C-alpha cells in the first residue's frame, strides 16, 4: 500500500502545489488520480516517485518512508512512466528495456535481453526490438515505456496521462492490458481522461487546486463530485504542475 500523510509541496517561488494531501492507495486496485490541468496531479506523482521532495508530511510504501529508501531500491519497487516517456533516443527499444536491469540490477545483458524480448512480445511490439524511439509511433512508444518500467518487476507503477498519445482504439486495447497486468502490479494512473479511468480503475482520488476533494470508489466520485462530466467523452492534456 502507498500512503500519503499530510504531504505539502511548494515551488521555489512560493506557489503551493500540494496542500495537506492525505490519501491511501489500497492494494489490488488500479487507482486513478483525477483533476484538471494545474490541479497538482503530476506534482503528487513526482513526490511519490521521489523526483520532488515533499515540503512536509510523509510518503510510505508498504510502511517504509520513501525518503529513507535508497534510490536503487525505490526504482526497483516503484516504476514511473511520465507523459513524455523519456525513452533514450540513441538506444534501441530493446536496449531501453535492458538498461536498468543491467545497471541497477547488475545482471548480465544476455540474460536480461531474453526477458526483454518476452516483455515486448507480451505487449505486442516484439518486431520493434531493434528500432529506435524516433522510428515508432506514439502508441508503440507508450507500450515500450511501460514495458521498460515493468522490467524491474516493481510492486507499483505510476502512469502520467498514459492515453495522451493514443487513439480511441489503442486506448481500449491499453485498458485491457492494464487489467491483465494488475494481478502482479498495482497501477496508479494520473489522468483527467475520465472515460479511460472508468475502463480500468476501481478507486479514485480527485484533486483540485492542490487539495484532495474526494476519494473512494471511482463511480461515486464521477457520479457525485463530477456530476456534469459526460462519461462518453474525455479530454487529454499536457503535464500539469
31-74 pLDDT, tens digit each: 999 988 888 999 999 999 988 999 999 999 999 998 888 888 88
Cβ-contact 79, 104 below 8 angstroms: no
Percent of the chain's residues with pLDDT above 90: 34
Note whether 235 and 193 are within 8 A (CB): yes
Q: How far apart are CA 12 and CA 115, in angstroms?
A: 42
Give the tens place of pLDDT for each residue, 158-182. Answer: 999 888 767 787 788 778 878 888 8
CATH number for 2-86+155-225 (one of 3.90.1300.10, 3.40.50.720, 3.60.90.10, 3.40.50.300): it is 3.40.50.300
Write down the domain spans for the chain: 2-86+155-225
pTM of the model: 0.81
Per-residue pLDDT tens over the stretch 126-170: 999 999 999 988 888 888 888 888 887 888 999 998 887 677 877
Amino acid at each position: 500500500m502507498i500512503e500519503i500523510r499530510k504531504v505539502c509541496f511548494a515551488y521555489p517561488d512560493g506557489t503551493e502545489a500540494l496542500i495537506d494531501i492525505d490519501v491511501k492507495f489500497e492494494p489490488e486496485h488500479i487507482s486513478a488520480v483525477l483533476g484538471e490541468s494545474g490541479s497538482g496531479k503530476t506534482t503528487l506523482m513526482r513526490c511519490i516517485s521521489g523526483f520532488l521532495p515533499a515540503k512536509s508530511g510523509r510518503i510510505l510504501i508498504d510502511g517504509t518512508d520513501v525518503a529513507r529508501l535508497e534510490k536503487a531500491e525505490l526504482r526497483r519497487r516503484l516504476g514511473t512512466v511520465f507523459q513524455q516517456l523519456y525513452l533514450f533516443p540513441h538506444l534501441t527499444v530493446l536496449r531501453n528495456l535492458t538498461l536498468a536491469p543491467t545497471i541497477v540490477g547488475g545482471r548480465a545483458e544476455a540474460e536480461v535481453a531474453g526477458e526483454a524480448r518476452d516483455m515486448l512480445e507480451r505487449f505486442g511490439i516484439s518486431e520493434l526490438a531493434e528500432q529506435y524511439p524516433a522510428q515508432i509511433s506514439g502508441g508503440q512508444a507508450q507500450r515500450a515505456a511501460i514495458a521498460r518500467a515493468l522490467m524491474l518487476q516493481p510492486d507499483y507503477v505510476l502512469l502520467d496521462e498514459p492515453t495522451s498519445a493514443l487513439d480511441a482504439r489503442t486506448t481500449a486495447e491499453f485498458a485491457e492490458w492494464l487489467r491483465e497486468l494488475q494481478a502482479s502490479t498495482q497501477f496508479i494512473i494520473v489522468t483527467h481522461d475520465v472515460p479511460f479511468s472508468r475502463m480500468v480503475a476501481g478507486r479514485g482520488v480527485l484533486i483540485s487546486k492542490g487539495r484532495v476533494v474526494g476519494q473512494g470508489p471511482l463511480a461515486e466520485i464521477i457520479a457525485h463530485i463530477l456530476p456534469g462530466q459526460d462519461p462518453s467523452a474525455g479530454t487529454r492534456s499536457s503535464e500539469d504542475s
